[in-house]
Amino acid sequence: MKLANNRYHPPGRYPEGWYLVEIARNLPNGGLVEKQWMGQQVVAWRDSAGEVCVSEAYCPHLGSHLGPKAGGCVRNGRLVCPFHGFEYDVTGQCVATPNAPPPKTARLNVYEARELNGLIFAWWSSVGRDPQWELPQWPDEGWKRLEYAALRFPGHPQETAENSVDISHLQYVHGYASVKQLGEVYVAGAYLRNDFQFRRKINLAGVTVRTDVTAKTHVWGLGYSFVEIHERVSGLFLRQWIMSTTVDETENELVIALQAKGREPGQKWLATLLLNGLPPGWLTRFFISRVKHDVRQDISIWANKRYQPLPILSRSDGEIMTYRKYCEQFYPVSEVVGEPLRRVVSNRIRPVKRA
């Protein structure tokens, strides 16, 4: 998709925070993945004890890429460089080479990582700050298999997360009805809470179904939104993560992950029927397809809009400026538009255990 001319970004392209690296089940013990993440080439891998390491992708020896495409691999619980065989443990330390003792200073820059609810996140700070907050682990009991979908487009995580407080677009872009904000937007440090309700019609296997939804949105930074969804007609409980990550100077990746709750006290017969009368995962994938449909509607706007630092708002706009104020903390160094931030990779060493 082509970018609009005269595009302005929010204050920085790489805001500080926790950003998704990989869905945990895609990284089994001994697994290795590579990706472009927050403007960096990174690798994520898991040793034989299940510990995860997220690090820069280039070997400090002579600079080989460590990812699987270049021939990098995990062997005996160590990341092995394809060029001269240096081996790294999950702390990023080089612990062996084929022909000589490992140089003590051969160490990969490692990102702080967390594995929560089947999702692997790493901490990004353009100025090398340690994590400024932690993400929550939500109780998993009773929730069915997590399904997910990823979309890439020209965009920015501040713009995608702004959706959660931009109440008026829900009706205009997505066609929701009776959209109502519940209470005020609540902000405490890196946490933002916003609740709303709406109605909409959806086509479920050829049948038009009316839904009545309450959504409680919990935001921790620009890369992590968690939404508790209750559909009151059917009695369904869903939960959804929306994880936005800057890829590079232009692209953004949005991963939507969704789960349905198998059973809830007082659950209506319709929810029980939908959850148990359909093939496993069908309902979750159906809702993911609906969310993807909505996100594609947003993408047409995001990919072509420009950032308005001082928007002219109407009374129906919700609390956009509360959100903008909240966002300032994620830019510890203000960036002159058009100039990239100084990027310093955190060198803290702390592998994570499988949650």
Q: Alpha helix locations (H) across the chain?
A: 157-162, 167-172, 269-276, 282-302, 320-327
64 binds, among Fe ion, ligand FES, none (CB under 5 to 8 A by kind): ligand FES
Distance in angstroms (rounded) separating the CA atoms of residues 310 and 327: 14
Q: Using CA atoms, how far apart are residues 176 and 197, in angstroms rounded to an integer?
A: 10
Distance CA 8, CA 133 (A): 28
The residue within the footprint of ligand FES, chosen from 61, 292, 324, 348 (CB under 6 A), is 61
Which amino acid appears at position 269 of this protein?
Answer: W
User: How many residues contact Fe ion, by CB under 5 A?
Assistant: 2
Least distance in Å: CB of 324 to Fe ion? Answer: 17
Q: Give burial (CB, 10 Å; 0-12/13-18/19+) of 250.
A: middle
Residue positions counted in the chain: 355
* CA atoms of 247 and 253, how far apart (whole Å): 6
The pair of three-digit structure tokens given for residue 60, joined into one six-digit string: 């400090």
126 binds Fe ion (CB under 5 A): no
- Contact with Fe ion (CB under 5 A): which of 56, 89, 298, 319? 298
Residue 346 near which of Fe ion, ligand FES, none (CB within 5-8 Å, type-dependent): none
When asked if residue 64 is in the footprint of ligand FES (CB under 6 A), the reply is yes
- With 0-12 / 13-18 / 19 or more C-beta atoms within 10 angstroms meaning exposed / middle / buried, residue 253 is buried
Task: Report how far Cα 145 is from the mean position of its chain's Cα atoms.
Answer: 18
Amino acid at residue number 117: N
CB nearer to Fe ion: pick between 56 and 298? 298
Q: Which of 1-9, 45-53, 76-84, 328-336 is the region at the interface with ligand FES (rule: CB under 6 A)?
A: 76-84
Instruction: Return the DSSP state at 318.
Output: -
Q: d(Cα 16, Cα 286) in Å, to the nearest integer? A: 33
Secondary structure tally for the chain: helices H, strands E = 5, 18
Q: Which residue from 20, 23, 38, 59 is in contact with ligand FES, where contact means CB under 6 A?
A: 59
| Nearest distance, CB of residue 128 and ligand FES, angstroms | 24
211: tokens are: 């839904």
259 binds, among Fe ion, ligand FES, none (CB under 5 to 8 A by kind): none
Between 85 and 309, name the residue whose CB sits nearer to ligand FES. 85
Smallest separation (angstroms) from ligand FES to the CB of 73? 12
Q: Which does 61 bind (CB under 5 to 8 A by kind): Fe ion, ligand FES, none?
A: ligand FES
81 binds, among Fe ion, ligand FES, none (CB under 5 to 8 A by kind): ligand FES
Pick 228 or 294: Cβ nearer Fe ion:
294
Q: Which is nearer to ligand FES, 103 or 128 (CB)?
A: 103
> Which of residues 117 and 163 has its CB atom nearest to Fe ion in the complex?
163
Binders in 77-136 for ligand FES, by CB under 6 A: 81, 83-86
Q: Where are the beta strands (DSSP E) in 170-298?
A: 177-188, 191-204, 207-220, 225-231, 236-246, 251-260
Which residue type, as a one-letter code, is found at position 153? F
Which partner in ligand FES, Fe ion, none is near 163 (CB below 5 to 8 A by kind)? Fe ion
Closest approach, Cβ 152 to ligand FES, in A, equals: 30
Q: Answer yes or no whether residue 313 interacts with ligand FES by CB under 6 A.
A: no
Q: Which residues bind Fe ion (CB under 5 A)?
A: 163, 298
Instruction: Please report, as ranges, the residues that interact with ligand FES according to CB under 6 A.
Output: 59, 61-64, 81, 83-86
